Amino acid sequence: MTQIKKNSIIAAAFAIAAATSLTANAQKQTAAPAPILPLPEQKQIDWQKMETYAFIHFGLNTFNDREWGYGDSDPKTFNPTRLDCEQWARTLVASGMKGVILTAKHHDGFCLWPFEGNDYNISQSPYKDGKGNIVRELSDACKKYGLKFAVYLSPWDRSRADYATPGYLPYFYSQLRDLLTNYGDVFEVWFDGANGGDGYYGGACDSRTIDRKNYYNYPRIFEILDSIQPQAVVFGDGGPGCRWVGNEKGFAGETNWAFLRKGEVYPGYPKYKELQYGHADGNQWTPAECDVSIRPGWFYHPEEDGKVKSPDQLVDLYYRSVGHNATLLLNFPVDRDGLIHPVDSANAVRFHKIIERELSHNLVAGMKPKVSNERGAEFAAKALTDNSWDTYWATADGVTTADITFSFKKPQKINRIMLQEYIPLGQRVKKFVVEYLDGKQWKPVSQNEETTTIGYKRLLRFLTVETKGVRVRILDSRGPICLNNVGVFFGGDDAQLTWSPTSEAIKSLPFSLVGISEAEQTKATDRDPQTVLFTTSKELIIDLGKNTEVSQLLYFPDQSDAHRGLIHSYTISACDAKGNVIKTLKSDEFSNIQNNPILQTVTFPATTTRFLKLSADRMVKDGEQIGIAELGVK
């Protein structure tokens, strides 16, 4: 063979090899894993990346000590004298909040902006002599401080005579249009699931029910929204943009799918507990938002100044919301001065500092982990630690289990891990475990959570270990695994595993309950919320032993998931030993008790009596007995 021939054969061989590798590269470049439905819209991804944002509940309720205004409070009572939306914005930024949702109109119908379609609004109040506009003031403050802005607009309107008739709808739509047109971009629109019931209704003072699925004509509402602000994510019990998490306590399930079965969940959906977990077989991308108030109530009540959630409690909620593939919507009840109360502000800022401290130093940043499978160069393991959200590691088709192993040169103390799936291709992982190297043996870290889904973000707290290795084992997935980030942290020696609630402090005068055995009575007075007294009738007679001046009754409802025996509306009266009424002291509803069964404090005119009667005029669930976890009289 001539040298020329030889050379040309070698050249041809190189060419073939180069072509093969080019083809292989070309294949690798086109070989992204196929998406697995359902998928998020870009706006839902942008929304979830916000992670924590604030709610502001403020309105006539703030000045009338109510959680749900009946619709008849006088606008003249709305009189914040030091209101400063910039103080809100500064506090929220310092608390790590990326945006804020304002109750532009709550159930009572009172508008925080001078809406021209009615006169039940801020222009009728003494605030800035009727020239104020809190939607404007807050949206301006947000622009100044780099926060995103959004609105809560209650579909339920307890002030309107036409509520529950078709006549109300054009009014409601024009409110929505007004808010969406005049105050810049909103990132979310919040439609509350609480709808219909008692109300003032223009003086009718009756109870109205609506067809919760059809009355508001949501398809029409979505058209309006899409035509004005297509980037806004719509919150509703069942989405479509993001969903309620099925509680008002601020946490999502450990297993939490970002999907729902389309069209199944509507406002008032009875199986709302499912919303904590999502529907594993859902076909609509509707991630969960965890709404919770920093205080027991959503609106400001001076008696809750001592009951603001502690920084540790908020940290716990962060891990169980953002760390459970949801967002955290933290409510600040602005006070009667028109400011975020200093205690709320201090606790929220401290909360943010703790989270920053615990999760800022990623011990595996820039490291190249060992992985048991890699789809190809574009999907290599270094994507897990390159601090980029857009690059991801993926496994080959058909590979739904894998190990990711990090080795440290020197033993490291660790107690937190963060995992993220590349959700533009869908949510996939169904089960994983986290292990650490103990000598030569891999052992699971000690934590008390199910390690099932990951989604946009999964955070896990575990007891501190000092180790030279950490391994994440993905045990099951809906398809090839696609993870974009892993973080391993040491949150400090004092970093908590969980926060455990103690029973709410209820101080009370001594009393006994007429006709109820001592053993049963104890359940309502032992300050253990796990034990619940159930009455046999719809009334309870409280014997103070002697004539005593009283002005407050405290009722802590059943805290179990079933929330048994919730009183919807009550009457409190001074009575005799047999329960014959001497004087009625107060009759009202326990607003929002079904969704938020917190300690209920009823204040009535001071009265001297030996016996008090609590009558349940209506139960949340008809026919149930009264359930009382704790009771107090002051």
Which residues contact ligand FUL (rule: CB under 6 A)? 67-68, 192-194, 291, 298, 592, 595
Nearer to ligand FUL, 326 or 417 (CB): 326
Residue 149: phi and psi, rounded to 5, are -120, 150
Smallest distance, ligand FUL to C-beta of residue 512, A:
35
User: Could you tell me the two tokens for 359?
Assistant: 């999760």
Residue 115: phi and psi, rounded to 5, are -70, 125
Q: Which of 67, 502, 149, 92 is nearest to 309 (CA)?
A: 502
User: Could you tell me the two tokens for 107?
Assistant: 């159930």
Smallest distance, ligand FUL to C-beta of residue 350, A:
24
Smallest distance, ligand FUL to C-beta of residue 139, A:
20
Q: Could you tell me the CA-to-CA distances from 511 to 200, 261, 470 in Å, in that order?
A: 37, 51, 57
Smallest distance, ligand FUL to C-beta of residue 212, A:
13
Question: How far is residue 607 CA from its own chain's centroid?
Answer: 40
User: Could you tell me the two tokens for 35?
Assistant: 């998406």
Nearer to ligand FUL, 256 or 591 (CB): 591
Nearer to ligand FUL, 285 or 298 (CB): 298
Report the length, in residues, of the chain: 634
Nearer to ligand FUL, 291 or 589 (CB): 291
Nearer to ligand FUL, 290 or 495 (CB): 290
Distance separating alpha carbons of residues 261 and 49, to the nearest angstrom: 23
Residue 246: phi and psi, rounded to 5, are 85, 5
Distance separating alpha carbons of residues 425 and 187, to the nearest angstrom: 23
Cβ atoms 291, 331 nearer than 8 A: yes
Nearer to ligand FUL, 193 or 296 (CB): 193
Nearer to ligand FUL, 78 or 392 (CB): 78
User: Could you tell me the two tokens for 357?
Assistant: 């401290």
Residue showing tokens 């029910």:
209
Nearer to ligand FUL, 72 or 254 (CB): 72
Smallest distance, ligand FUL to C-beta of residue 532, A:
24
Helix (H, G, I), strand (E, B) or coil at 195: coil
Helices (H), 158-287: 168-182, 218-228
Smallest distance, ligand FUL to C-beta of residue 100, A:
14
Residue 562: phi and psi, rounded to 5, are -75, -20
Smallest distance, ligand FUL to C-beta of residue 103, A:
7
DSSP string, 323-361: TBTEEEEEEEE--TTSS--HHHHHHHHHHHHHHHHHHS-
Contact residues for 87 (Cβ-Cβ < 8 A; gap 6+): 339, 340
Nearer to ligand FUL, 566 or 612 (CB): 566
CA dihedral (545, 547, 548, 551) positive or negative: positive
Nearer to ligand FUL, 289 or 539 (CB): 289
Smallest distance, ligand FUL to C-beta of residue 67, A:
6
**Residue number of the CB atom closest to ligand FUL:** 194
Smallest distance, ligand FUL to C-beta of residue 327, A:
14
Smallest distance, ligand FUL to C-beta of residue 617, A:
20
